[in-house]
């Protein structure tokens, strides 16, 4: 029986709705309140910001040569600037280092998600609105303020200052565990490897930045900050993770080149096993 007969062509939209309106806000409410800013965590705090800013510059340079559409430019930016630091990152750290070292990646993962929940969401909504016409700041602001992941991020930053969130954590934990499998399931339903012929240039650019250039920036940052040991190594290691599956899913949901979004996640995951092995040995030698 074919996949089309088993499931409707747009079945992934229901999965997307769960991810964007239930699981993603739950993840925000569960982990953002636990961010603890200290000077010792400067590198894992700054690394995602540097990777995001580097992605902006990379896309600007690439766009000058390829003259991308608004949708493709935003999709490339989102997939370049954000990595799969928890779903893929934590198991990879346990495999290459040790389970006890995952604590170093938690801050980096939370910072990555904070970027996604704020400027990442703004980037996606602005690009999706700007494809059809020029839009005002007020229009974009209204869409952002009505978007559940962004609203939950604001709530997660403010509410814990007044009430104890621990009472709802067990419920949030149960919702959070659905995020990665549901998001990957949706990506898989939309993945069409035959389309790689049409998107290979964009996929190659996204994978090049995310797996090679992004961890290179984090590596340089570690040297500048004179950081060493497993904290520095894992910060670089996490910066080299495959594109953020939820960000890619959301970009696809808003029609920002869905074909590319699904391809770059699939190709990025496969290639990351090779590149992360390389970064493991490089960081072990120099940091």
The structural domains of the chain, ordered by start, are 12-286 (1.20.1530)
Residues 6+ apart with CB under 8 A from 240: 83, 210, 211, 212, 214, 215, 218, 272, 275, 276, 279
Give the model's pLDDT for residue 1: 44
* Residue 247 β-bridge partners: none
Each residue's pLDDT tens digit, 98-132? 766 766 777 788 788 889 888 888 888 888 876 54
Predicted TM-score (pTM) of this structure: 0.80
Give the model confidence (pLDDT) of 195-246 as tens digits: 677 789 999 999 999 999 999 999 999 999 999 888 899 999 999 999 988 8
Whole-angstrom distance, CA of residue 55 vs CA of residue 214: 8
Three-class DSSP category at 85:
coil
């Amino acid at each position: 029986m074919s996949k089309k007969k088993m499931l409707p062509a747009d079945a992934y939209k229901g999965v997307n709705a769960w991810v964007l309106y239930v699981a993603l806000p739950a993840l925000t409410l569960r982990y953002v309140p636990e961010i603890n800013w200290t000077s010792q965590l400067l590198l894992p705090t700054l690394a995602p910001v540097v990777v995001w800013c580097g992605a902006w510059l990379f896309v600007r340079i690439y766009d000058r040569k390829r003259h991308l559409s608004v949708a493709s430019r935003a999709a490339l930016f989102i997939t370049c600037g954000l990595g799969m630091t928890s779903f893929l990152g934590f198991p990879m750290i346990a495999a290459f280092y040790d389970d006890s070292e995952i604590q170093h990646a938690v801050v980096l993962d939370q910072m990555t998600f904070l970027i996604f929940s704020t400027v990442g969401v703004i980037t996606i909504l602005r690009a999706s609105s700007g494809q059809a016409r020029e839009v005002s700041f007020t229009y974009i602001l209204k869409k952002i303020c009505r978007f559940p992941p962004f609203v939950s991020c604001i709530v997660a930053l403010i509410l814990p200052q007044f009430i104890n969130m621990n009472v709802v954590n067990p419920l949030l934990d149960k919702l959070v565990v659905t995020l990665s499998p549901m998001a990957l399931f949706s990506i898989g339903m939309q993945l069409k490897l035959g389309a790689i012929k049409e998107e290979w240039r964009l996929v190659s650019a996204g994978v090049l930045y995310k797996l090679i250039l992004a961890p290179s920036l984090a590596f340089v940052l570690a040297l500048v900050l004179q950081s060493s040991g497993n904290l520095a190594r894992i910060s670089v290691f996490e910066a080299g993770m495959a594109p953020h599956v939820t960000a890619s899913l959301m970009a696809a949901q808003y029609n920002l080149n869905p074909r590319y979004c699904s391809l770059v996640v699939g190709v990025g995951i496969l290639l990351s096993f090779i590149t992360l092995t390389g970064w493991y040995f490089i960081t072990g030698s120099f940091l």
